[in-house]
Structures are given as structure tokens and as C-alpha cells.
Structure 1
Amino acid sequence: MSRTPDPPKLTPQFCFNHTALRDFLRVSRGAIDDTISQNLNALVTPGDRPFDPSSTTERQPRPIGRRRIDAQACGEFKDKVLFPSWQVRSDVLNYCAGVATSPDPDDPDHMLREVEDERARERVVNERLDPYSGRYFPRDTRTEALAALVRNERVVEGIIRARTWGLVGERCDNEGVEMERAVDEWRRGQRGQ
């Protein structure tokens, strides 16, 4: 079974390093969600049914559904691997969202943006001679860029979790439990420990 990567040390520098943030999320998703079929297959005990020699006398059609996994193995997988990895990624995205909404006094591009803004205000615009001369697109601040990245990663996270939960539901009997409810129940159980 895959091992989830260790959670990063949460600092504003980690969040502003978009490469490090994306890499952590990519590796975490790759370890669990992208390989969910392999992880679920690893839960199946291959020799739990003895070999039946009569099974080779007739051609067997392919099974329509996938083989179900033992409920206890599924529960342990969800409680010890799947939900903790989702929680770590949620914690990282929530922390970075908080950094993105906080003031950023250490923004290294602050002065450069102010200079560009001043030049844009001083520029003489004659749209009759150049219809594009009035265009000015100010740079995003570090916090605005981080907020956009967190928004995008949350959308990706939602899509990946829905796909993973669907596959888990096929192999483990989830009894129609919605993903959010299952995660909330797991969180409540974690707080009680």
C-alpha cells in the first residue's frame, strides 16, 4: 500500500513557493488518489478462496463487477490512509488560503508594482492613434496569485476526491454514504481519540 508523504512545515514561505505547494499536492495525490485502484487491489487477499479445478473445464465470462473488499480492510484503509491524506491536503490548502487573505508586508514586488502603476498613470493615451495604448494590466500581488492558486487546487481536489470516493464505493460497500459525511464522521472520531 502507498505511503502518504509527510506533511510540510506550514509557513508563509512554503505557500508563496508555488512550486513547492504544487509538488506537495501532486505527490500526495499521486501516492493515494491517482493509484486508488492499485491501493484497493492490495487490500484483497489473493488466497482467500481455494482453487477449484472444475473452474477450468468451462470458459468463464469476465465478472461484471469488481470483487468486493472485506469491510474491515476497507474501513482501515479509509481511516488510516485515505482520510488522513485528504486531511493533510485540506490543512495545507486552508493554511495557504489564510496566508493569501492576510496582509503581505514582505512582498518583494511591491515597489516594482508601484513604479509600474505610476508609469501607467503618467502615460499619455491617444486611443485614436493607438487603440491599445489605454490598456494596462497591473500585476497581481503575491497574495492574489496565491489565492488564485488555492482556488484552482481546491477545484482539482474536489474532482479527485469525487473520483476516488466513487472507486472506493464500487469496491467497498459505502452504503450510499456521501464523501463529506464520511470525512466529517472520521474527523469527529479523530477528535474523540
Structure 2
Amino acid sequence: MSRTPDAPRLTPQFCFNQTALRDFLRISRGAVDDTISQNLNALFTPGAKSFDPSITTTRQPRPIGRRAIDSESCSQFKEKVLFPSWQVRSDTLNYCAGVATSPDPEDPDHVLREVEDVRARERVIDERLDPYSGRYFPRDTRTEALATLIRNERMVENIIRSRTWGLVGERCDGNGLGAEQALDAWRTKQSTDEAR
């Protein structure tokens, strides 16, 4: 089975370092979701059934779709690899979303933005000479940039999870739950197991 990356140490500095945040999400998705077909193929054991010579006497129809994987292997994969990977990414995105909505007193660009705002207010604007001179686009704060990144990454996460869950549903016995419902059921089971 795949080895998922360890959960990052969640700090505001980790969240504001967008390269580190993106790299963690990319590596985590690459280890499990991007290679879901290979991970599922690794669960299939072709020699599980012994050879039956009687199948050579009649023409066998070509199997439709992919071969199903036994339910025990599937549930182990989902519980030990897939759902924990999704949970770590959800925890990371939720934590960073909280950081993005909190005030940021340590913003290093705060003074620079204030200076740019003052300059923009003091400019003399003559739109007859330059119709674009009235435009001023203030730079985003760190928290605004982080909120935009989190919003985009959540959309990517939803797309990846639905694709992954579709492939898991094809190969494993689908229980009719969507990706988020299955993850919530796993979370509930984990919390009851921990309570014991």
C-alpha cells in the first residue's frame, strides 16, 4: 500500500508559506489519489483462486469493467490509507482557513501597503491625459491571499475526492455513500473507537 506523508506541524507560519502548504497537499494527493488505480491494482491478488481446467472447455466472455477486489482488502485500504490521507488534508485546510480568518498582527507588508494607500490617495488624477490613472489595485494582505489559496485548494480537493471515490466504487463494493458521507462515517467510527 502507499505510504502517505506525515501530517505537517500546523502553525500560522506553515499556512502563510504557500509553497510549503501547496507542496504538502500535492505530495499527499500524489501518494494516494493520483495513483489510485495503481493502489487498487496492488490490492488485487490474481492467484487467489486456484485454476479450474473446466473453464477452458467453453468460451469465456470478456469481463465487463475491471475486476472487483475483495471487500476486506478494500476496507483495509480505505480505513488505513485513503481516509486518513483525506483527514490530514482536511485538518490542514481547516486549520489554515482559521488562520486566514484571524487577524494578522505580524504581517510584514502591512506598513508597505499603508504607504502605497497614502500615495494612491495623494495622486493627482487627470483622466483626460491618462484614462487609466484613476486605477489603484491595493495588494492583498497575507490573510486574503491565504483565504484565496484555501478556497482554490478546497475546490481541487472536492474534484480529486470525487474522482478517487468513483474509481474506488468501481473496484470495491460500493456502499452507495458519496465520498464525504463515507469519510464522515469513518470519522464517526474512529471517534467511537477512540472513546472506548
**Same fold (TM > 0.5):** yes
Task: Give me the whole-angstrom Cα distance separating, in 2, the residues matched to 1:21 and 1:190.
Answer: 26
Percent of paired sites with the same residue: 78
Task: Give me the whole-angstrom Cα distance separating, in 2, the residues matched to 1:112 and 1:60.
Answer: 73
Task: Give me the whole-angstrom Cα distance separating, in 1, the residues matched to 2:42 and 2:161.
Answer: 20
- 3-state secondary structure, aligned to 2:43: coil
Q: Give the corresponding residue for 2:189.
A: 189
Q: Give the corresponding residue for 1:15.
A: 15
Report the count of equivalent residues. 193
Q: Give the corresponding residue for 1:89.
A: 89
- 3-state secondary structure, aligned to 2:47: coil
Q: In structure 1, what residue type is equivalent to 2:139?
A: R
Q: Identify which range, 96-105 or 39-48, moves more after superposition.
A: 39-48
Task: Give me the whole-angstrom Cα distance separating, in 2, the residues matched to 1:56 and 1:116.
Answer: 80
Task: Give me the whole-angstrom Cα distance separating, in 1, the residues matched to 2:108 and 2:95.
Answer: 21
Verify: 1:40 aligned to 2:44, yes or no: no
Give the Å deviation of 1:55. Answer: 6.0
Task: Give me the whole-angstrom Cα distance separating, in 2, the residues matched to 1:62 and 1:145.
Answer: 52
Q: In structure 2, what residue type is equivalent to 1:110?
A: H
Verify: 1:155 aligned to 2:155, yes or no: yes
Task: Give me the whole-angstrom Cα distance separating, in 2, the residues matched to 1:58 and 1:137.
Answer: 74
Q: Give the corresponding residue for 1:168.
A: 168
Give the Å deviation of 1:176. Answer: 1.5
Task: Give me the whole-angstrom Cα distance separating, in 1, the residues matched to 2:31 and 2:138.
Answer: 38
Equivalent residues in 2 for 1:61-80 (5 A)?
62-80=62-80
Task: Give me the whole-angstrom Cα distance separating, in 2, the residues matched to 1:116 and 1:56.
Answer: 80
Give the Å deviation of 1:21. Answer: 0.1
Equivalent residues in 2 for 1:124-163 (5 A)?
124-163=124-163
Task: Give me the whole-angstrom Cα distance separating, in 2, the residues matched to 1:172 and 1:6.
Answer: 26
Task: Give me the whole-angstrom Cα distance separating, in 2, the residues matched to 1:85 and 1:148.
Answer: 23
Report the aligned-residue RMSD. Answer: 1.5
* TM-score of the aligned structures, taking structure 2 as reference length: 0.94
Task: Give me the whole-angstrom Cα distance separating, in 2, the residues matched to 1:121 and 1:56.
Answer: 85
Task: Give me the whole-angstrom Cα distance separating, in 2, the residues matched to 1:159 and 1:192.
Answer: 29
